[in-house]
Structure formats: C-alpha cells, structure tokens
Amino acid sequence: MSDMKLEQDQKQTPSENAPKMRRDLSPSEAVHEKDWSDHKGILIVVEQRGGIAKKVSWQLLGEGRRLADKLQTHLSALVIGSNVSGLAKEAIYRGADNVYLCDSVELENYRTRPYSKVCLAVIREYKPEIVLLGATYTGRDLAGAIATHLPTGLTADCTQLDVDENRLLLASRPAFSEKMLATILCKQYKPQMATARSGVFLALPLDPTRQGDIITIPSQMTEGEIVTQVLDFLEQTDHVSLEDQEIIVAGGRGLGGPEGFVMLQEFADALGGVVGASRAAVDAGWIGHDHQVGQTGSTVRSKLYFAIGISGAVQHVVGMQNADMIVAVNRDPQAPIFKVAHLGIVGDLFTLVPALTEAIRAQKRNSGSVPVAL
C-alpha cells in the first residue's frame, strides 16, 4: 500500500511521459483475509465553504450519532479548511465526540489532492469502520478519490442508512430513476464508505454544553506541490437553497407558463415562503433549476409544502415526501400527488391560488401573525 507521500507531483508534459498507473491502489486478495477489528467508530467529513458548513454535514452528524450509539462506538468529524476552528467546535455541539481539524491556508479552497490526502492520513491513522460524506459535487469528488486510494467500497447518494448486528453498514440508495431502492453492503473492506443526500437526515440541535477533543492534523501538501489552481468563484447571487426553507410553494406544468409563477410568487409571499417547481416547469424555462424539487433537484423537509399543478411523479415525490404538511391542488382527482398530500383540493389552480392568497392574507391580518422570518 502506498503511503501518504506520493510521487505524483513531478508531473511532466504529456509528450514526454506515458501515464503510469499506481498499481498499488486496488484491492488484492490479501485484503479479503484481513482482520478489520481494529477499525472502530464513525467518521463524518464536514464540507464547508468560506468557514460555513454545508447543511448536509450537520445532518450526517445527526444520523452518524444515531448509528454510533447503536454500534456503541464513537462519532468523529473531520474539518478541513483555512480558519475553520470554529467549525470544529460546532461539530462537537452537533453530536461529534471528537474532531480532527486540519487548518491551513492552502486548504482554503477545496482541491482533490490536498483534501484527499488529509482524509487518507486521518483514516489510516484512526481507522474508522464507517466514513460518510455529503453527496454534494465536492463530496462525491472527494469520496471517489479516497475510496480508490484506500481501497474500499463506496456507496453513492444514500437516502437511508442503518447498521446491523454484524456492524455492517446498510447503505440504501435510489436506483433506476428512484423507482426502487437498493441496499448496498461492503463486507470485506474497511472503512465502509458512503455519500448521502442532503435534506434527508435530521441535524441535531446545537448543544453548546457538549464537549470533546479537537485533534490537530497537519496539512499533507505544500502549495508548491499542488498543480490545480482555483482562479475564481462566481457566486450565484440569486441562488435559492430550498433545502433550508420552512415553507415552499411549488408549481408544475399546470401553471401553464412563466406568468403562472408570478401568481405563485404572490402566494408564496403571503405565506412567507419561497417558490419551488417540478422539473417539467424548470425544463420549460419558466423558472430556474435552483427551484427544482426532486431526484435531480433539491430534497426538502419544509414544514409546509404546496404542490400546485404538479402530477406527483415519483421523481418529484422523493424530493418532498418528508415535508411535515403537504397540500396539493390539481384538477385531476386521480393525480398521484394526492396519495402523499395531507390536504387535497381538486379544482382549477387559476381560481384557487388567488383565493388561497387572499384567505391567507386575511387570516394573517386577523390573527396578527406576521410571516415567519426566513
């Protein structure tokens, strides 16, 4: 097995140097026989940008806490970045027993090699039995690299996690356009790795009385050794993150066009919520992809979810079925959306939405309740 100081950084121009595979990176028969009982505990790799953690990281700490308690083992977090010691504390408050902190200037922006080397150093030293990352773009990029180097099995984009009496991670993920779930095991390798979807698991409330060790990990590469450069980050300023919203009013093809979304925005404003959408509405160009709920959009857990002119295709439903209260408006009484809705209204949305907007406004005036601050 290769050690951390890899030789890859003396890259030469392609015309001089044929690619050479690092043949030590794959499982070999010897691995199967290995005794893994020294691997203990669960490790969550925390993702952050600019010192702010991704929601999914705290959600995974919440789920990791549950699994660690079930296995009667410890839960650790790994925080990587520059000026991120505050996040290490927060990870403890969010459920971690201890935190590995690697804080160094060259780790300010995510880059695969320096980040994966830190993860590998921690995993090889502290030998967790389970490693979880968010199934974000960055999380998948990083997890794919780590699992290949270790090597071990990696289950992608899980929406259910559990452990069994043999300490096996039961990692379940949607398959075939969300029509099925598949449970995937990694029996003969440790750690068992998975990436998990944002918005599915519940974060624990912040508990500042929790205490735990913070263990400093040295950075594994110097800036001079890193080939990849992040030149700029173009933040999408009008970006909406549906995953954090308490009230979502989602519209579908039934809205008929972008004007329908103007009407929907008014309704959302009355409720103090934001607008979501089905893929059909996004693909039609009526609203941006940020607003899409479902398999290829966001998974939400809002307290209130309106589905207006949305039929309820399985790929949409997987993204919203965990909302606390779902209200559906559709003119087709057979629409599958009614199977997951708590309140259903059969009728024409073009008359119902303005009426609902008015009724909500009136109720809020009467009860004196102001729209919740978001």
Partner 1 sequence: MHIVVCIKQVPDSREIRIDPNTNTLVRQGVPAIVNYYDLHGLEEALRFKDTVGARVTVISMGPPSAEKSLRQCIAMGADEAVLVSDRAFAGADTLATSYVVALTIEKVAQEFGIVDLVFCGKQTLDGDTGQVGPGVACRLDYDQLTYVEKVVALDEKNHTITVHRHLEDGVEVVQTKLPALITVLTELNKPRRASLPGVLKAAQYKPVVWSTNDFANIDRSKIGLKGSPTIVSKTWVPEPRKVNTEMIDGPSPEAIAADVTKRLWSSEAASRLGWA
Residues 96-135 that bind partner 1 (CB under 8 A): 109, 112-113
Q: Which stretch binds ligand FAD (CB under 6 A): 9-17, 83-91, 159-167, 251-259?
A: 251-259
Per-residue burial over 190-208, b = 16 or more CB atoms within 10 Å of its CB, e = otherwise: bbbbbbbbbbbbebbeeee
Concatenating the DSSP letter of every residue in 41-84 gives SEEEEE-EETTEE-HHHHHHHHHHHHHHHHHT--EEEEEEESS-
How many positions of this chain bind partner 1 (CB under 8 A)?
Answer: 102
Question: CB-wise, 62 or 174, nearer to partner 1?
Answer: 174
Secondary structure (DSSP) of 307-373: EES----HHHHTTTTTSSEEEEEES-TT-THHHH-SEEEES-HHHHHHHHHHHHHHHHHHH-PPPPP
156 touching ligand FAD, by CB under 6 A: yes
3-state secondary structure of 98: strand
Of 174-203, which residues contact ligand FAD (CB under 6 A)? Answer: 175, 177, 182, 184
Name the minimum Å distance from CB 93 to ligand FAD.
31
Instruction: Specify the DSSP class assigned to residue 285.
Output: T
Residues 277, 287 contacting (CB under 8 angstroms) = yes
Which of 102, 135, 281, 304 forms a contact with ligand FAD (CB under 6 A)? 281
262 touching partner 1, by CB under 8 A: no
In this chain, which stretch among 72-80, 86-94, 99-107, 146-154 interacts with partner 1, using CB under 8 A? 146-154
Task: Identify which range of 26-34, 90-98, 205-213, 348-356 contacts ligand FAD by CB under 6 A.
Answer: 348-356
Taking the complex as a whole, the smallest distance from the CB of residue 213 to partner 1 amounts, in Å, to: 31
Tell me which amino acid residue 182 is: A
Residues 174-213 contacting partner 1, CB under 8 A: 175-177, 179-189
- Is 345 among the residues that bind partner 1 (CB under 8 A)? yes
The site that binds ligand FAD (CB under 6 A) totals a number of residues, namely 36
Token pair belonging to 364: 């809020």
Site residues (CB under 6 A) for ligand FAD? 154-156, 173, 175, 177, 182, 184, 252-254, 278-281, 292-297, 309-311, 313, 315-316, 319, 329-332, 335, 348-350
